[in-house]
Amino acid sequence: MMQPQQPYTGQIFQPTQAYTPAIPQPVYGNSFEDEPPLLEELGINFDHIWHKTLTVLHPLKVVDGSIMNETDLAGPMVFCLAFGATLLLAGKIQFGYVYGISAIGCLGMFCLLNLMCMTGVSFGCVASVLGYCLLPMILLSSFAVIFSLQGMLGIILTAGIIGWGRFFASKIFISALAMEGQQLLVAYPCALLYGVFALISVF
């Protein structure tokens, strides 16, 4: 025999145990505050860029060997772009030559240094050092915007800029890779590389 249904009293059914929604767990860390800055994730550190730039500009500063351990390519890319921009102000559109010669020069120095040193060196470190030592070439191409470098004063200035770049590049390589007594051997190919950049600036 069926029991009669209870009449509806107007009350909403309340569950005996309250529902607690689960708190979603973050995927990449405890919170967004723990995330590193975007520039640091991209490998761009302005303090390191400024420190390496001052190392190239200061002739008497002692070179820190740990500067080679940081593969920083943001500064060299900016310097290559600045070098091409100053050449453009002088009426020379040479961006392709700048990046092409840079790539070939870095590859050659990478092979040479791995043959000469016992510890070995990465391609990024070689490109970073050669790129930062391109800074004197930016000064040379800036002078080429104002006056011609094909006279005697221009030849002397160009020779000094080439010597400046090769001295610091070889000094950093020797200090970082513990290649005492081999600075002249490293300075010669560096001078050839920066000499090609100087020829682009002069002619």
pLDDT category of residue 26 using cuts at 50, 70 and 90: low
pLDDT band, residue 195 (cuts 50/70/90):
very high
Where does the pLDDT of residue 160 fall: very low under 50, low under 70, confident under 90, or very high at 90 and above? Answer: very high
How far apart CA 162 and CA 28 sit, in angstroms, is 48
Lowest mean pLDDT among 56-65, 168-177, 183-192: 56-65
pLDDT at position 147 is: 85
Sign of CA dihedral 143, 146, 149, 152: negative
In the chain, the amino acid numbered 108 is G
Say yes or no to pLDDT of 130 above 80.
Answer: yes
For 74, what's the count of Cα atoms within 13 Å in the CB-facing half-sphere? 15
pLDDT at 25: 56
Q: End-to-end CA distance of the chain, in Å? A: 111
On whether the pTM is more than 0.75, the answer is no
Flag whether pLDDT at 181 surpasses 60: yes
With a pLDDT cut of 70, the percent of the chain lying above it is 72
CB atoms within 10 A of CB 102: 22
- DSSP state, residue 179: -
Region of poorest pLDDT, from 1-5, 106-110, 112-116, 164-168: 1-5
Q: With cut-offs at 50, 70 and 90, classify the pLDDT of residue 182.
A: confident
Handedness of CA 196, 200, 202, 203 (dihedral sign): positive
Q: Residue 132: name the closest of 35, 55, 43 by CA.
A: 55
Higher pLDDT, 166 or 67: 166
How many CA atoms does the CB half-sphere of 140 hold within 13 Å?
30
Half-sphere exposure of 100 (CA within 13 A, CB side): 6
- pLDDT score for 151: 85
Measured distance CA(98)–CA(94) in Å, rounded: 6
> What is residue 57's predicted lDDT score, i.e. its pLDDT?
78
